[in-house]
Chains A and B, each alone.
Chain A
Amino acid sequence: MRFLIPLLLLAQPLSAQERVQLTGEVIDTWCYFSGVMGGPDSVVGSAHHTCALWCSAGGIPVGLLAPDGQVYMVLKMAGDATTNGGDTNLHVASHTLDVDGMLYRRDGLNYIVVETVTADQDIINATHEDFGVIPGFAIPEDEAAR
């Protein structure tokens, strides 16, 4: 028995994994989880797109927000592991994507390695119609004069 336990532990994968196909919006996880800018509905989609660009370029992790409210922390996007401010994540900020990849769970968070983006629906969540822009200073005032 004593020898079986180490063998069983060695036989475990690094972490349980599962192949998934899901649809989700690429979100800025800090604003979404913290509520620093407002409620969850206001920090997604077009209303929050400029802030999502800032946060993605600033190295805040992006997540995929599925229609059921589950958030998947992105560890690779279309095979690109440059998740600290990388171009791949920046280009799809606020986009709704259909993806195929591997799902991992640990300590209450979902993590996803996106192997393939099977469809990019662009930005379809027109939240600016309800919220304007979040934060309010996302668009500089001098844009009005241009």
Chain B
Amino acid sequence: MIRPLFLAALLAAPIAAQAQDFAAGSEAKTWNLYAEEPARFTARVTDPLCELTGDCAADCGAGSRQLVLIREADDAMIFPLKNKQPAFTGAVNELAPFCQQVIEVDGLMLNDPDIGAVNVYLVQRLKPEGGDWRNADQWTKDWAEANPNALRPDGEAKGPWFRRDPRIRSEIEAEGYLGLGLEVDGPFIADWF
């Protein structure tokens, strides 16, 4: 008796996931990406290192580690690569406060298997259980708080974070914009502009 039931349960799981329309109710804004699809779903926030290997840290690494979403509908592991901000910023700062909590997220799913992009995600907003929707735009606020005196190479204290970040500036000052050394950068920049 148990064998038919077990098989039926195994067969039913992917069918249930396929039937789920993750675009339903999504208010995600398009980024005009080739493989984007709006996707709104509930999921548990967790640490992929812990989930896959058993190497777990308190509070999912407390913001130091990458985080993933285990989607409730089909148990799929979704990797959020990006937050809402068009500023080269990831999703960990948005999700870290919700380690091991089930939240609702809304954003863009990317599926382009030809280049390996499967179940990767851009989170635009999230809703904790019992809470309100909030935009996934915390990253630059956190950076500004951590780097109140960061300056651009010309000494100005304004402009986007990536022009002023001390670690990025240090890498570029040492290896150039191309990363091949300042002796390669010089002639290239003269030709580029």
Complex interface: stretch among B18-26, B77-85, B128-136: B77-85
- B139 close to A (CB within 8 Å): yes
Q: Which of A110-144 contact B (CB under 8 A)?
A: 110-111, 113, 123, 126, 128, 132-133, 138-144
- A71 close to B (CB within 8 Å): yes
Q: Is the CB of B179 within 8 A of A71?
A: no
Q: Could you give, for residues 158-172 of chain B, a 1 whenever the CB lies within 8 Å of some chain A CB and a 0 otherwise?
A: 000111010110011
Q: Is the CB of B66 within 8 A of A33?
A: no
Contacts A2-B2, A35-B34, A107-B77 given: A71-B53 contact, CB under 8 Å? no
CA–CA, A107 and B48, complex, Å: 12
Set of chain B residues within 8 Å of A83, measured between Cβ atoms: 64-66
Q: Is the CB of B172 within 8 A of A53?
A: yes
Q: Is the CB of B167 within 8 A of A15?
A: no
Q: Which of B66, B88, B167, B177 contacts A84 (CB 8 A)?
A: B66
Q: Which of B65, B78, B89 contacts A60 (CB 8 A)?
A: B89
- B113 close to A (CB within 8 Å): yes
B152: nearest residue on chain A (CB-CB)? Answer: A140
Q: Is the CB of B118 within 8 A of A109?
A: yes
CA–CA, A84 and B88, complex, Å: 13
CA–CA, A75 and B65, complex, Å: 8
- B27 close to A (CB within 8 Å): no
Chain A nearest CB: distance from B74 CB in Å? 9
Set of chain B residues within 8 Å of A55, measured between Cβ atoms: 88, 90
- B100 close to A (CB within 8 Å): no
- A94 close to B (CB within 8 Å): yes
Q: Is the CB of A59 within 8 A of B52?
A: no
CA–CA, A49 and B2, complex, Å: 56
Q: Among the interface residues B48, B61, B76, B179, which one has the most CB atoms of the partner chain A within 10 A?
A: B179
Interface of B is mostly: mixed
CA–CA, A32 and B36, complex, Å: 14
Q: Is the CB of A49 within 8 A of B178?
A: yes
Contacts A49-B179, A61-B79, A139-B189 given: A33-B61 contact, CB under 8 Å? no
A132: nearest residue on chain B (CB-CB)? Answer: B192
- A11 close to B (CB within 8 Å): no
Q: Is the CB of A107 within 8 A of B163?
A: no
- A97 close to B (CB within 8 Å): no
Set of chain B residues within 8 Å of A133, measured between Cβ atoms: 177-178, 192
Q: Is the CB of A123 within 8 A of B53?
A: no
Q: Which of B24-80 contact A (CB under 8 A)?
A: 31, 33-36, 48-49, 51-55, 57, 61, 63-66, 76-79
Q: Is the CB of B178 within 8 A of A108?
A: no
Q: Which of A29, A76, A138 contacts B177 (CB 8 A)?
A: A138
Q: Which residues of A contact B (CB under 8 A)?
A: 1-2, 5, 14-15, 17, 29-30, 32-36, 40, 46-47, 49-51, 53-55, 57-61, 69-71, 73, 75-76, 81-87, 90-91, 93-94, 102, 104, 106-111, 113, 123, 126, 128, 132-133, 138-144
CB<8 Å pairs between A and B, sample of 18? A14-B54, A30-B81, A30-B82, A35-B34, A61-B81, A73-B79, A81-B49, A84-B64, A84-B93, A85-B90, A90-B168, A93-B179, A106-B77, A107-B76, A107-B118, A109-B119, A110-B116, A133-B192
